[in-house]
Amino acid sequence: MDSTPAAVFTDLCDYTRVTERLGDRSAARIAVTLRDIARDVARRHGGRVVKMLGDGAHLHFARKADAVAASVELLALVRISGLPCARVGVNAGPMVEANGDYYGRAVNIAARIAAQATPGSVFVGEAAMTPDPSVRLERVGPMQLRGVASEVTVFRAFACA
């Protein structure tokens, strides 16, 4: 089994607008709910939440297959929880752990992929692709990501019925 580590970034859509409309207390409840969902999903798939980023989260998985399956589940749970929609980006490759955080090109690309994902989608970099009967991947195409020298081929992940 492939033991390539993977980074996952998720971000809630329109969080600032929701905060403006519902107020700070509601915004805090939304962020805490996202944290709880991310933590539970990561645990079930052998990963962990590296850090919360306000309306987003950075997760780490030791195996890229776990990251993709977890991302699809995370998006589904956000959808049914009543939170604003989310977008998720996944990438895999070498990374450096320092003081509980992860750094490197693979991590940066995961964050950039998340920023480009369409609302309500899981976008997966080609480096994180792996056969998984529970996930279907559909090619989105090559993307030029901010700060990344070469294009990255990205796929959209869906849960198989």
Structure confidence at residue 143 (pLDDT) = 81
Residue 1 has pLDDT above 70, yes or no: no
Residue range 6-159 forms a domain whose CATH class is: alpha beta
Q: Which helix (H) or strand (E) holds 35?
A: helix 24-44
Write out pLDDT tens, residues 134-147.
888 989 988 878 88
Mean pLDDT check: name the lowest of 57-61, 94-98, 137-141: 137-141
Domain residue ranges in the chain: 6-159
Structure confidence at residue 19 (pLDDT) = 82
Nearest to 37 by CA among 86, 84, 88, 81: 81
Structure confidence at residue 79 (pLDDT) = 92
